[in-house]
Structure 1
Amino acid sequence: MTQLDPKMRVGLRIKELRAGLGLSQEAFAYSIEMSRTYFAEVETGKRNVSIENIERIASGLGVSLRGFFDSDLFSE
């Protein structure tokens, strides 16, 4: 398997958790007061997201930073 870019791994984890909540990108971005365009670029791995915004996203997803990074996506 090809190793994924770190931005892509973060985006895939966000998408996984957001989908588990049944929220659209737009609804979730609105709920955490983040631009939908910016959020979409983070989720698709096109944007290098700051740790502050990862924490904001994780909080909106109802997980801690530890919980966010507790995924096989980050075990490589």
Structure 2
Amino acid sequence: MSLIALLGRNIRRRRHALGISQEELAFRAEMKRSYVSGIELGNRKPSIDALERLAGALHVDPRTLLEPDRHTK
């Protein structure tokens, strides 16, 4: 799995765990919903600033969004 795909999957999982929509995440991170969607789908490569804003909106350290799932290889 590519790093971009992994990032998107981790953002989606965390967002679902918080029970918030893409629209709510985008609002909290001060970005457009379509941009968040593109990141979750692995079609967009976010800047470091965007990664930090998303992590803040998800209440996680940005590094955790780049970590592989411990249960899958």
* TM-score (normalizing by structure 2): 0.84
In the other structure, the counterpart of 1:64 is 61
Segment drifting more, 63-72 vs 51-60: 63-72
Q: How many residues align?
A: 71
Please report how far the alpha carbon of residue 51 of structure 1 lies from its aligned counterpart in structure 2 after TM superposition: 1.5
What is the rounded CA distance, in whole Å, between the counterparts of 1:70 and 1:48 in structure 2? 16
Unpaired segments of 5 or more residues in structure 1? none
Question: What is the aligned-residue identity percentage?
Answer: 35
Unpaired segments of 5 or more residues in structure 2? none
What is the rounded CA distance, in whole Å, between the counterparts of 1:68 and 1:5 in structure 2? 13
* TM-score (normalizing by structure 1): 0.81
Bigger radius of gyration among the two: 1
Alpha carbon RMSD of aligned pairs, Å?
Answer: 1.7
Change (3 A) 1:41 1:12: same
The structure 2 residue matched to 1:55, chosen from 47, 52, 60, is 52
SS in 2 for 1:63: coil
Q: Where do 4+ consecutive residues of structure 1 move more than 4 Å?
A: none
Aligned partner of 2:45: which letter? N
